Structure 1
Amino acid sequence: MIHYIDEFPGREIKIGDQNYLYFGGTAYLGLQTDKRFQRILIRNIRKYGTNYGASRISNIRLSVYDQAENYLTKLVGSEACSTLSSGYLAGQFVSQYFNSSAYKVFYAPNSHPALHLSENNTSCTYEDLKRELEVYLKQPSAGTPVVFLDAIDFTGNSYPNFNGLKTMPLNKIIVVADDSHGIGVVGDNGGGVFKTLLALGAREIIVCCSLGKGFGLQAGAVFGTRKRIQSMTETAFYGGASPATPATLATILDTGEILANKREKLNKRMLQFRKQLPENHNFSIMDGHPAISFANKEFTFYLEKNNIIVTNFPYPNEDSSTMSRIVLSSSHKKKDLSKLSHLIKKYFSAQI
């Protein structure tokens, strides 16, 4: 069911005259409604303005861009980084870059539309993808294969162990991973999956992402080798696009302590919740990530009748399967999780 609301959905939302607990969305660290975080962002807006519509290659350049990109580079563990105005643009930036005869692009199952230049070339399974790669690499005129995937695809094939990717001939391919649901939340200090992917021994690793989920700010980023990032930022695509707002990037630099505290709180909430789950639950849970997937429409309706709303809609379009998730956030209180876990236990005990 579609609901319209009039303010950002925090731990609670109001629909009509009724209050609900909200366990949905992607505000994993609860930054969007955090007063201290907002004050820092507003302070930076006063300094840098509400928008900066100039090209990054113009003759006047704000130093905060390089400062933020150096910070993110160290956080993630890559050689270099470039920021953009959104995660979707970051994905399209990488896709357009590899759209040439020197490369052959492949898409892993469940890869995000932001990574695609068309909708008809996604492999159905990792077994299919491996077979397609092996056939292609045998061609005498084969270019370099580039495999696009979602780092966190909520199926268990990717994060945390990347079992599907490990079956690929990694030393011969470039791996591009969308880490929008991971950066800021998982990995050392919220650095995401870059270091994990790097350890798999691929020919090259590139990570693109939105910063809107883990960092609570409208921006995107691409991480990779210094040579690759330099080559990408020399394209007309990059030079012709407006950048992320400088106030956004300044806020990333100024809020590291807040994010660290929020991640610590989120980890405690995840531990509390999972200890309270009944043994006979049928949720899909990823270690270290706050989104819990399930496929049960009746359970969604049951929660809503008990004043809890979760993520539940077809994604990425109306013809897609329904995406149903319970999403924990650092903004949730212990009593919120206790109520949710009590309802879950009650529901599953009735199924026995």
Structure 2
Amino acid sequence: MAHYIDTFPGREITIKGKDYLYFGGTSYLGLQTDGEFQATLIGNIKKYGTNYGASRNSNVRFSIYKETEQHLADLVGSDTCVTLSSGYLAGQFVAQYFDTAKYKLFYAPNTHSALHLATNIKQAVTFASLNIAVREHLHGKSKSIPVVLLDSIDFSGAHYPDFEGLKQLPLDKVILIADDSHAIGVIGSSGGGVFGILKSLNPKELIVSTSLGKGFGIQAGAIFGTQDRIGQLLRTPFFGGASPAAPAYLATLLESKELYSGKRKQLVKNIACFLDNVKQRKRFNFMEGHPAFSYSDVRLTNYLFEHGIIITDFSYPNEHAGLKSRIVLSAHHTKKDILDLAELINTYKSY
């Protein structure tokens, strides 16, 4: 069921005049409605303007881009980084760059549409079939380099934190491209996401694309990789022709380090509170340290709604895809919010 609203949903959401607790969306740190975060952004809008529609290759350039990109690269642990106006654009940029005869693209199960191209490259159903396909390609006559694309967080728990499926692959011969949109800013050391974990698997090359909107609360995307690869991307017409992220957003990211840290600590407490109090953990698919809890019981969704709680529940990425039902905890939820949610789930068995 679609609900239409007029203000950004925080820990509460109002539908047809009735207030509900909201455990959905992707505002993992609860920043979009945070007063301190908003004040920082408003101050930066006054300094940098509401938008910047020129090319990054223009003769007049904002220094905030390089400053923020260096900060993000240090945070993640990559050689360097480039920012763009959205995570989806970042994913498409990387995928299109590698869509040439020099490379052969392979898609892992449940890869986000941000990394998919219009060409009908089939997504693997299992990692076993992906492993077979990659090895057959390597043993064939083609000299093209295999490129495996995947989501670091797929909400089934198949990837993060162990990436057992990836470990089956001959990664030393594979360029690995991961979408880290649901991890960066939220998990890892200081919110660095999974770059370090994937790097430790020793792929031939690692590239990570991501949205900065979910964990960092700003409208922007980023790509992480080696100096050489990012340099190649910067020299493309794709990058030169696209408008960048608004500089006010990047300045806000750079100035909110302490706020991000505090919010992540609160999120960790909220996750622990939920897990300590919900009795039927096996009902959910979830990953250690991540605030999303997926399930497939439509009746639970209806039960929660009837008792004043709305969660994420829709077909994604289009109406022909499977229904995505997910409880999402955020740093803005109070302990009472979480205890009320857990109590409802615990009493659901008698519904």
Give the TM-score, by structure 2 length. 0.98
In 1, the alpha carbon distance for the partners of 2:156 and 2:199 equals: 21
- Per the alignment, residue 50 of structure 2 pairs with 50
**CA displacement at 1:39 relative to structure 2:** 0.3
Alignment partners' CA distance in 2, 1:173 and 1:122? 17
Partners of 1:260 and 1:230 lie apart in 2 by 31
Letter in 1 for 2:56: R
Deviations 1:314-351 (A, max 9, x none): 00100100000000000000110010000011013x27
Q: Give the structure-1-normalised TM-score.
A: 0.98
1:94-173 equivalence runs, <5 A: 94-118=94-118, 119-173=120-174
**Correspondence 1:272-287 to 2 at 5 A:** 272-279=273-280, 281-287=282-288
Q: Give the residue type in structure 2 aligned to 1:267.
A: V
1:282, distance to aligned residue in structure 2 (A): 1.2
Please report how far the alpha carbon of residue 218 of structure 1 lies from its aligned counterpart in structure 2 after TM superposition.
0.2
Shift of 1:124: 1.0
Quote the Cα distance in structure 2 between the aligned partners of 1:280 and 1:116.
33
Deviations 1:46-96 (A, max 9, x none): 000001011011111110000000000000000010000000000000011
Give, in whole Å, the separation in 1 of the partners of 2:138 and 2:281. 45
Q: Distance in 1 between matches of 2:2 and 2:285?
A: 24
Matched with 1:11 is 11
Secondary structure, in 3 states, of the residue corresponding to 1:285?
coil
Deviates more, 1:192-201 or 1:275-284: 275-284
1:253-306 C-alpha deviation (Å, 9 max, x unpaired): 100000000000000000011000114641111100000000000000000000
**C-alpha distance 10-280 of structure 1, shift in aligned 2 (>3 A):** closer
Listed one character per residue, the Cα deviations across residues 181-206 of structure 1 (whole Å, up to 9, x for unaligned) are: 00000000000000000000111110
- Alpha-carbon spacing, 1:154–1:280, altered in 2? closer, same or farther (3 Å): closer
- AA partner of residue 261 (structure 1): G
Q: 2:32, 2:217 within 8 Å by CA — same for their partners in 1? A: yes
Gaps of 5+ in 1: none
| Offset at residue 172 of structure 1 (A) | 0.4
The within-5 A match list for 1:13-52 is: 13-52=13-52
RMSD: 0.9
Contact 2:106 2:121 in 1 (8 A): no
Question: Aligned partners of 1:141, 1:195: CA distance in 2, in Å?
Answer: 31
Letter in 2 for 1:27: S
Letter in 1 for 2:320: D
Provide, for residues 123-172 of structure 1, a one-character-per-residue CA deviation record: whole Å limited to 9, x for no partner. 11111111110111112332110000000001111111111111111000
Hey, what does 1:304 align to over in structure 2? 305
Structure 2 unaligned blocks of 5 or more: none
Deviation at 1:121, TM superposition (A): 1.6
Secondary structure, counterpart of 2:54 in structure 1: coil
Q: Percent same amino acid at aligned positions?
A: 55
SS of the residue 1:14 aligns to: strand
- Count of equivalent residues: 350
1:220 and 1:51 mapped to 2: Cα distance?
15
